[in-house]
Amino acid sequence: MIKMQQTMRWYGPQDGVSLRDIRESGVTGIVTALHQIPVGEIWQVKDIQERQQIIRNEGMEWAVVESLPVHEDIKRRGGDHEHYILNYKKSLENLAECGIKVITYNFMPILDWVRTDHAYTNPDGTKALLFDETAFIFFDVYLLKRPGAIDGYTKEQLDEAKAYGDALNGQEKAKLFKNVLLGLPGSDESFTPEKILELLRAYEGIDDEALRENLVHFLSEVAPVAQELGLKLAIHPDDPPFSVLGLPRVVSTEKDIADILSAVPVKANGLCYCTGSLGAQPNNNLVRIIEQHGDRIHFLHLRNVKRENGKRFRESEHLNGDNPMEEIVERLLLLMNKNKTTLPMRPDHGFLHSFEGKEKYPGYSLIGRLKGLAEIRGLELGISYKLKPSKAQ
Ligand code: CS2
Ligand code: MN
Protein backbone atom coordinates (compact mmCIF):
# COMPACT_ATOMS: atom_id res chain seq x y z
CA MET A 1 0.00 0.00 0.00
CA ILE A 2 1.38 3.42 -0.98
CA LYS A 3 1.82 5.77 1.97
CA MET A 4 2.59 9.46 2.39
CA GLN A 5 6.19 10.57 2.12
CA GLN A 6 7.10 11.86 5.57
CA THR A 7 8.88 15.20 5.59
CA MET A 8 9.72 18.04 7.92
CA ARG A 9 10.43 21.67 7.34
CA TRP A 10 13.95 22.94 7.83
CA TYR A 11 14.66 26.65 7.67
CA GLY A 12 18.22 26.10 6.45
CA PRO A 13 21.57 26.34 8.21
CA GLN A 14 20.26 29.07 10.53
CA ASP A 15 17.45 26.80 11.82
CA GLY A 16 17.74 25.98 15.51
CA VAL A 17 16.88 22.36 14.68
CA SER A 18 19.59 20.46 12.78
CA LEU A 19 19.17 18.10 9.85
CA ARG A 20 20.51 15.38 12.09
CA ASP A 21 17.74 16.07 14.62
CA ILE A 22 15.20 15.86 11.84
CA ARG A 23 16.69 12.68 10.43
CA GLU A 24 16.21 10.99 13.78
CA SER A 25 12.46 11.55 13.50
CA GLY A 26 12.45 9.04 10.65
CA VAL A 27 11.49 11.38 7.81
CA THR A 28 13.00 10.91 4.38
CA GLY A 29 12.24 14.32 2.93
CA ILE A 30 13.15 17.89 3.76
CA VAL A 31 11.00 20.89 2.99
CA THR A 32 13.07 24.02 2.73
CA ALA A 33 13.78 27.21 0.81
CA LEU A 34 16.74 29.39 -0.01
CA HIS A 35 15.63 31.98 2.52
CA GLN A 36 18.83 33.96 2.03
CA ILE A 37 17.88 34.93 -1.53
CA PRO A 38 15.81 38.14 -1.65
CA VAL A 39 12.23 37.65 -2.85
CA GLY A 40 12.10 37.99 -6.61
CA GLU A 41 15.71 37.09 -7.39
CA ILE A 42 16.55 33.97 -9.36
CA TRP A 43 17.47 30.80 -7.49
CA GLN A 44 20.67 29.73 -9.21
CA VAL A 45 21.49 26.08 -9.87
CA LYS A 46 24.66 26.17 -7.79
CA ASP A 47 22.78 27.49 -4.74
CA ILE A 48 20.08 24.86 -5.13
CA GLN A 49 22.65 22.10 -5.54
CA GLU A 50 24.61 23.25 -2.54
CA ARG A 51 21.50 23.01 -0.34
CA GLN A 52 20.61 19.65 -1.88
CA GLN A 53 24.03 18.30 -1.04
CA ILE A 54 23.82 19.40 2.60
CA ILE A 55 20.54 17.49 2.86
CA ARG A 56 21.88 14.41 1.06
CA ASN A 57 24.86 14.33 3.39
CA GLU A 58 22.39 13.69 6.19
CA GLY A 59 20.68 10.87 4.31
CA MET A 60 17.57 12.71 3.16
CA GLU A 61 16.34 14.41 0.01
CA TRP A 62 15.06 17.92 -0.64
CA ALA A 63 11.49 16.83 -1.36
CA VAL A 64 9.58 20.11 -1.53
CA VAL A 65 10.40 23.78 -1.94
CA GLU A 66 8.50 25.89 0.58
CA SER A 67 8.31 28.56 -0.49
CA LEU A 68 9.43 29.99 -3.78
CA PRO A 69 7.99 33.35 -2.76
CA VAL A 70 6.00 35.51 -5.11
CA HIS A 71 7.12 39.13 -5.26
CA GLU A 72 4.58 41.73 -4.11
CA ASP A 73 4.80 43.38 -7.55
CA ILE A 74 3.35 40.20 -9.07
CA LYS A 75 0.54 40.12 -6.52
CA ARG A 76 -0.24 43.78 -7.21
CA ARG A 77 0.50 43.42 -10.93
CA GLY A 78 2.43 46.63 -10.79
CA GLY A 79 6.03 47.82 -10.70
CA ASP A 80 8.41 45.26 -12.18
CA HIS A 81 5.96 42.38 -12.24
CA GLU A 82 6.93 41.17 -15.71
CA HIS A 83 10.57 40.98 -14.71
CA TYR A 84 9.67 39.05 -11.54
CA ILE A 85 7.54 36.58 -13.49
CA LEU A 86 10.48 35.92 -15.80
CA ASN A 87 12.68 35.38 -12.76
CA TYR A 88 10.12 33.02 -11.28
CA LYS A 89 10.11 30.94 -14.46
CA LYS A 90 13.89 30.83 -14.44
CA SER A 91 13.94 29.65 -10.83
CA LEU A 92 11.46 26.91 -11.77
CA GLU A 93 13.71 25.87 -14.63
CA ASN A 94 16.69 25.71 -12.32
CA LEU A 95 14.80 23.69 -9.72
CA ALA A 96 13.71 21.27 -12.44
CA GLU A 97 17.30 20.93 -13.58
CA CYS A 98 18.18 19.87 -10.03
CA GLY A 99 15.34 17.34 -9.93
CA ILE A 100 13.14 19.10 -7.37
CA LYS A 101 9.53 18.67 -8.37
CA VAL A 102 7.13 20.20 -5.85
CA ILE A 103 7.07 23.95 -5.31
CA THR A 104 4.89 25.62 -2.68
CA TYR A 105 4.01 29.30 -2.65
CA ASN A 106 1.26 31.53 -1.38
CA PHE A 107 -0.58 34.54 -2.75
CA MET A 108 -1.34 36.44 0.44
CA PRO A 109 -0.63 40.15 0.19
CA ILE A 110 2.11 41.34 2.57
CA LEU A 111 1.50 38.99 5.51
CA ASP A 112 2.21 35.28 5.17
CA TRP A 113 0.44 34.08 8.33
CA VAL A 114 -1.12 35.87 11.28
CA ARG A 115 -1.59 34.91 14.92
CA THR A 116 -2.19 37.16 17.92
CA ASP A 117 -0.65 34.82 20.51
CA HIS A 118 2.32 32.52 19.99
CA ALA A 119 2.31 31.05 23.44
CA TYR A 120 -1.25 30.24 24.39
CA THR A 121 -0.89 27.82 27.30
CA ASN A 122 -2.91 24.62 27.08
CA PRO A 123 -4.19 23.04 30.30
CA ASP A 124 -1.30 20.53 30.18
CA GLY A 125 1.35 23.26 29.94
CA THR A 126 2.17 22.98 26.24
CA LYS A 127 2.04 26.17 24.20
CA ALA A 128 0.18 26.76 20.97
CA LEU A 129 -0.47 29.46 18.38
CA LEU A 130 -3.76 31.29 18.56
CA PHE A 131 -5.70 33.83 16.56
CA ASP A 132 -8.11 35.97 18.51
CA GLU A 133 -10.25 38.36 16.53
CA THR A 134 -10.75 40.78 19.42
CA ALA A 135 -7.01 41.08 19.98
CA PHE A 136 -6.53 41.52 16.27
CA ILE A 137 -9.10 44.31 16.07
CA PHE A 138 -7.37 46.04 18.96
CA PHE A 139 -4.08 45.78 17.05
CA ASP A 140 -5.64 47.06 13.83
CA VAL A 141 -7.64 49.98 15.23
CA TYR A 142 -5.72 51.09 18.32
CA LEU A 143 -2.10 50.03 17.80
CA LEU A 144 -1.63 50.24 14.06
CA LYS A 145 -4.32 52.93 13.73
CA ARG A 146 -5.05 51.92 10.16
CA PRO A 147 -7.08 54.64 8.45
CA GLY A 148 -10.63 53.45 7.82
CA ALA A 149 -10.14 50.33 9.92
CA ILE A 150 -13.13 51.03 12.14
CA ASP A 151 -15.47 50.89 9.14
CA GLY A 152 -14.75 47.19 8.84
CA TYR A 153 -16.00 46.27 12.31
CA THR A 154 -19.26 46.53 14.24
CA LYS A 155 -19.64 48.82 17.23
CA GLU A 156 -19.84 45.79 19.46
CA GLN A 157 -16.56 44.42 18.11
CA LEU A 158 -14.87 47.78 18.60
CA ASP A 159 -16.11 48.12 22.18
CA GLU A 160 -14.94 44.63 22.97
CA ALA A 161 -11.54 45.28 21.40
CA LYS A 162 -11.17 48.53 23.33
CA ALA A 163 -11.98 46.80 26.61
CA TYR A 164 -9.54 44.03 25.73
CA GLY A 165 -6.78 46.56 25.04
CA ASP A 166 -7.48 48.65 28.12
CA ALA A 167 -6.65 45.63 30.23
CA LEU A 168 -3.19 45.21 28.64
CA ASN A 169 -0.07 46.88 30.00
CA GLY A 170 2.50 48.52 27.72
CA GLN A 171 4.62 45.43 27.50
CA GLU A 172 1.66 43.26 26.55
CA LYS A 173 0.65 45.72 23.86
CA ALA A 174 4.17 45.70 22.43
CA LYS A 175 4.09 41.90 22.45
CA LEU A 176 0.79 41.81 20.58
CA PHE A 177 2.18 44.21 17.99
CA LYS A 178 5.21 41.99 17.49
CA ASN A 179 3.18 38.77 17.42
CA VAL A 180 0.89 39.97 14.67
CA LEU A 181 3.74 41.10 12.48
CA LEU A 182 5.84 38.00 12.83
CA GLY A 183 4.29 36.58 9.68
CA LEU A 184 5.81 39.35 7.61
CA PRO A 185 8.61 38.10 5.40
CA GLY A 186 11.92 39.36 6.78
CA SER A 187 10.21 39.79 10.12
CA ASP A 188 13.47 39.87 12.05
CA GLU A 189 13.37 43.58 11.26
CA SER A 190 11.23 45.63 13.56
CA PHE A 191 8.29 47.07 11.69
CA THR A 192 6.88 50.44 12.69
CA PRO A 193 3.20 51.29 12.21
CA GLU A 194 4.27 53.77 9.50
CA LYS A 195 6.09 51.07 7.56
CA ILE A 196 3.09 48.72 7.72
CA LEU A 197 0.71 51.45 6.64
CA GLU A 198 2.97 52.18 3.69
CA LEU A 199 2.93 48.51 2.66
CA LEU A 200 -0.85 48.46 2.96
CA ARG A 201 -1.21 51.54 0.79
CA ALA A 202 0.28 49.61 -2.11
CA TYR A 203 -2.90 47.48 -2.10
CA GLU A 204 -5.33 50.37 -2.20
CA GLY A 205 -7.82 49.74 -4.99
CA ILE A 206 -7.00 46.03 -5.20
CA ASP A 207 -10.04 44.05 -4.15
CA ASP A 208 -10.59 40.28 -4.16
CA GLU A 209 -11.56 40.31 -7.80
CA ALA A 210 -8.44 42.20 -8.85
CA LEU A 211 -6.17 40.01 -6.75
CA ARG A 212 -7.77 36.89 -8.24
CA GLU A 213 -7.13 38.23 -11.73
CA ASN A 214 -3.52 38.88 -10.81
CA LEU A 215 -3.18 35.34 -9.49
CA VAL A 216 -4.73 33.88 -12.62
CA HIS A 217 -2.43 35.99 -14.75
CA PHE A 218 0.59 34.77 -12.78
CA LEU A 219 -0.58 31.17 -13.07
CA SER A 220 -1.31 31.43 -16.78
CA GLU A 221 2.34 32.45 -17.15
CA VAL A 222 4.09 30.05 -14.79
CA ALA A 223 1.86 26.94 -14.64
CA PRO A 224 2.37 25.94 -18.30
CA VAL A 225 6.12 26.35 -17.79
CA ALA A 226 5.97 24.20 -14.67
CA GLN A 227 3.89 21.61 -16.54
CA GLU A 228 6.42 21.48 -19.35
CA LEU A 229 9.25 21.04 -16.85
CA GLY A 230 7.42 18.24 -15.02
CA LEU A 231 6.98 20.35 -11.87
CA LYS A 232 4.02 20.69 -9.54
CA LEU A 233 3.04 24.05 -8.10
CA ALA A 234 1.16 23.91 -4.81
CA ILE A 235 -0.57 27.06 -3.65
CA HIS A 236 -0.81 27.38 0.12
CA PRO A 237 -4.20 28.50 1.44
CA ASP A 238 -4.56 31.83 3.22
CA ASP A 239 -3.75 31.67 6.89
CA PRO A 240 -6.07 32.73 8.42
CA PRO A 241 -8.61 32.04 5.67
CA PHE A 242 -10.33 35.41 5.83
CA SER A 243 -9.41 39.01 5.15
CA VAL A 244 -7.10 40.79 7.58
CA LEU A 245 -6.26 44.51 7.67
CA GLY A 246 -8.71 45.10 4.84
CA LEU A 247 -6.45 43.17 2.46
CA PRO A 248 -7.92 41.06 -0.35
CA ARG A 249 -7.89 37.26 0.05
CA VAL A 250 -8.43 34.72 -2.72
CA VAL A 251 -7.28 31.31 -1.42
CA SER A 252 -9.53 30.89 1.60
CA THR A 253 -12.59 28.89 0.61
CA GLU A 254 -13.56 25.81 -1.39
CA LYS A 255 -14.90 28.10 -4.09
CA ASP A 256 -11.60 29.99 -4.22
CA ILE A 257 -9.78 26.72 -4.73
CA ALA A 258 -12.18 25.55 -7.43
CA ASP A 259 -11.84 28.90 -9.22
CA ILE A 260 -8.06 28.90 -9.14
CA LEU A 261 -7.70 25.31 -10.30
CA SER A 262 -10.21 25.68 -13.12
CA ALA A 263 -8.84 29.04 -14.31
CA VAL A 264 -5.60 27.39 -15.46
CA PRO A 265 -6.49 23.74 -16.00
CA VAL A 266 -3.11 22.05 -16.05
CA LYS A 267 -2.05 19.53 -13.45
CA ALA A 268 0.95 21.65 -12.49
CA ASN A 269 -1.47 24.24 -11.15
CA GLY A 270 -2.18 22.54 -7.85
CA LEU A 271 -2.84 22.87 -4.16
CA CYS A 272 -0.94 22.55 -0.92
CA TYR A 273 -3.64 20.89 1.15
CA CYS A 274 -3.09 22.60 4.50
CA THR A 275 -5.71 21.25 6.88
CA GLY A 276 -4.86 23.76 9.58
CA SER A 277 -5.34 26.80 7.38
CA LEU A 278 -8.44 25.53 5.58
CA GLY A 279 -9.93 24.17 8.80
CA ALA A 280 -10.02 27.59 10.47
CA GLN A 281 -12.89 28.47 8.10
CA PRO A 282 -15.97 26.56 9.33
CA ASN A 283 -17.59 26.40 5.87
CA ASN A 284 -14.71 24.53 4.31
CA ASN A 285 -15.41 20.83 3.94
CA LEU A 286 -11.94 19.31 3.95
CA VAL A 287 -13.03 15.86 2.83
CA ARG A 288 -14.91 17.29 -0.12
CA ILE A 289 -11.81 19.20 -1.20
CA ILE A 290 -10.00 15.86 -1.50
CA GLU A 291 -12.94 14.35 -3.38
CA GLN A 292 -13.19 17.22 -5.82
CA HIS A 293 -9.59 18.25 -6.29
CA GLY A 294 -7.58 15.23 -5.20
CA ASP A 295 -5.70 15.01 -8.47
CA ARG A 296 -4.48 18.56 -8.04
CA ILE A 297 -3.23 18.12 -4.47
CA HIS A 298 0.56 18.03 -4.58
CA PHE A 299 1.62 18.56 -0.98
CA LEU A 300 0.07 17.90 2.42
CA HIS A 301 0.28 20.00 5.57
CA LEU A 302 -1.45 18.01 8.28
CA ARG A 303 -2.39 19.73 11.51
CA ASN A 304 -5.52 20.55 13.42
CA VAL A 305 -7.38 23.56 14.74
CA LYS A 306 -10.00 24.15 17.35
CA ARG A 307 -12.41 26.89 16.37
CA GLU A 308 -13.91 28.93 19.14
CA ASN A 309 -16.38 31.79 19.00
CA GLY A 310 -16.37 33.94 15.87
CA LYS A 311 -13.00 34.09 14.20
CA ARG A 312 -11.06 32.85 17.19
CA PHE A 313 -9.15 29.61 16.71
CA ARG A 314 -6.18 27.88 18.22
CA GLU A 315 -3.91 25.21 16.88
CA SER A 316 -4.78 21.93 18.56
CA GLU A 317 -3.24 18.47 18.86
CA HIS A 318 -2.82 16.89 15.45
CA LEU A 319 -5.52 14.28 16.06
CA ASN A 320 -7.77 16.28 18.33
CA GLY A 321 -9.60 19.27 16.89
CA ASP A 322 -12.27 20.25 14.39
CA ASN A 323 -10.66 18.53 11.40
CA PRO A 324 -11.73 14.90 10.90
CA MET A 325 -8.17 13.60 10.61
CA GLU A 326 -9.12 9.91 10.43
CA GLU A 327 -11.31 10.53 7.45
CA ILE A 328 -8.85 12.90 5.84
CA VAL A 329 -5.97 10.44 6.11
CA GLU A 330 -8.16 7.59 4.84
CA ARG A 331 -9.21 9.63 1.81
CA LEU A 332 -5.64 10.61 1.14
CA LEU A 333 -4.50 6.98 1.28
CA LEU A 334 -7.25 5.95 -1.12
CA LEU A 335 -6.33 8.83 -3.42
CA MET A 336 -2.63 8.01 -3.49
CA ASN A 337 -3.31 4.33 -4.11
CA LYS A 338 -5.78 5.06 -6.86
CA ASN A 339 -3.25 7.36 -8.53
CA LYS A 340 -0.34 5.04 -7.73
CA THR A 341 1.72 7.93 -6.42
CA THR A 342 2.84 9.12 -3.01
CA LEU A 343 2.34 12.66 -1.71
CA PRO A 344 4.81 14.47 0.52
CA MET A 345 3.37 15.33 3.94
CA ARG A 346 4.68 17.36 6.81
CA PRO A 347 3.12 17.69 10.25
CA ASP A 348 3.11 21.48 9.72
CA HIS A 349 3.14 23.05 13.19
CA GLY A 350 3.28 21.52 16.65
CA PHE A 351 3.07 22.55 20.30
CA LEU A 352 5.99 23.89 22.25
CA HIS A 353 6.67 21.43 25.08
CA SER A 354 8.31 22.49 28.34
CA PHE A 355 11.33 20.23 27.79
CA GLU A 356 12.33 22.16 24.67
CA GLY A 357 11.60 25.48 26.33
CA LYS A 358 11.86 27.70 23.27
CA GLU A 359 11.49 27.59 19.52
CA LYS A 360 13.15 29.73 16.90
CA TYR A 361 10.14 29.74 14.58
CA PRO A 362 6.66 29.77 16.16
CA GLY A 363 5.05 26.36 15.66
CA TYR A 364 8.29 24.69 14.65
CA SER A 365 9.57 23.12 17.86
CA LEU A 366 11.09 19.72 17.24
CA ILE A 367 9.20 17.80 19.93
CA GLY A 368 5.81 19.23 18.99
CA ARG A 369 6.26 18.38 15.35
CA LEU A 370 7.71 14.99 16.21
CA LYS A 371 4.66 14.20 18.31
CA GLY A 372 2.37 15.30 15.47
CA LEU A 373 4.35 13.24 12.97
CA ALA A 374 4.28 10.16 15.19
CA GLU A 375 0.53 10.43 15.67
CA ILE A 376 -0.16 10.88 11.97
CA ARG A 377 2.23 8.04 11.15
CA GLY A 378 0.35 5.74 13.52
CA LEU A 379 -3.00 6.83 12.17
CA GLU A 380 -1.84 6.17 8.64
CA LEU A 381 -0.47 2.76 9.51
CA GLY A 382 -3.73 1.76 11.20
CA ILE A 383 -5.84 2.95 8.31
CA SER A 384 -3.63 1.33 5.71
CA TYR A 385 -3.93 -1.96 7.60
CA LYS A 386 -7.69 -1.59 7.59
CA LEU A 387 -7.72 -0.84 3.84
CA LYS A 388 -5.35 -3.62 2.83
CA PRO A 389 -7.17 -5.63 0.15
CA SER A 390 -5.67 -8.96 1.14
CA LYS A 391 -6.84 -8.75 4.73
CA ALA A 392 -9.68 -11.16 5.53
CA GLN A 393 -12.72 -9.14 6.54
C1 CS2 B 1 3.40 27.78 6.74
C2 CS2 B 1 3.39 28.98 5.85
O3 CS2 B 1 4.27 27.92 8.87
C4 CS2 B 1 3.32 28.17 8.17
O5 CS2 B 1 2.29 28.70 8.55
O6 CS2 B 1 2.40 26.87 6.46
O7 CS2 B 1 4.34 29.88 6.27
C8 CS2 B 1 3.68 28.54 4.45
O9 CS2 B 1 4.99 28.08 4.40
C10 CS2 B 1 3.56 29.57 3.39
O11 CS2 B 1 2.35 30.24 3.48
C12 CS2 B 1 3.67 28.91 2.02
O13 CS2 B 1 4.00 29.85 1.09
MN1 MN C 1 0.42 25.09 6.22
Same domain, 292 and 279: yes
Phi, psi dihedrals of residue 269, rounded to the nearest 5°: -85, 90
Give the Cα separation of 106 and 362 in Å (integer).
Answer: 18
User: Has residue 166 been placed in a domain?
Assistant: yes
Q: Point out the catalytic residue in the list 71, 318, 349, 353.
A: 349
Can you give the CATH number for the domain in which 345 is found?
Answer: 3.20.20.150
106 lines ligand 1 (CB under 6 A): yes
Residues with a beta carbon under 5 angstroms from ion ligand 2: 274, 301, 348
346 lines ligand 1 (CB under 6 A): no
Same domain, 86 and 123: no
Same domain, 327 and 178: no
User: Has residue 26 been placed in a domain?
Assistant: yes
CA of 365 to the centre of ligand 2 (A): 15
112 lines ligand 1 (CB under 6 A): yes
Using one digit for the tens of pLDDT, what is the confidence trace for 97-148?
A: 999 999 999 999 999 999 999 999 999 999 999 999 999 999 999 999 999 9
Phi, psi dihedrals of residue 350, rounded to the nearest 5°: -150, 175
Q: Point out the catalytic residue in the list 81, 236, 318, 353.
A: 236
In contact, 299 and 64? CB cutoff 8 Å:
yes
218 lines ligand 1 (CB under 6 A): no
User: Has residue 34 been placed in a domain?
Assistant: yes
Using one digit for the tens of pLDDT, what is the confidence trace for 40-76?
A: 999 999 999 999 999 999 999 999 999 999 999 999 9
In contact, 194 and 90? CB cutoff 8 Å:
no
Same domain, 349 and 254: yes
User: Has residue 189 been placed in a domain?
Assistant: no
Structural domain span for residue 140: 117-182
ipTM of the complex: 0.94
Q: Could you tell me where the beta strands, DSSP code E, fall in 321-363?
A: 344-346
- Closest ligand to C-alpha of residue 251 is 1
- pLDDT given for residue 182 in this prediction: 86
pTM of the model: 0.97
Give the Cα separation of 383 and 1 in Å (integer).
Answer: 11
Whether 301 is catalytic = yes
CA of 30 to the centre of ligand 1 (A): 15
105 lines ligand 1 (CB under 6 A): yes
CA of 115 to the centre of ligand 1 (A): 12
What dihedral do alpha carbons 98, 102, 103, 108 form, nearest 10°?
A: -170
- Which strands sit side by side in the sheet containing 304-307, from one edge to the other? 117-121, 127-131, 313-316, 304-307
* Rounded mean pLDDT, 199-215: 97
Same domain, 155 and 230: no
Residue (of 341, 352, 338) closest to 389 by Cα position: 338
CA of 209 to the centre of ligand 1 (A): 23
The neighbour count for residue 123, using CB atoms within 10 Å, is 5
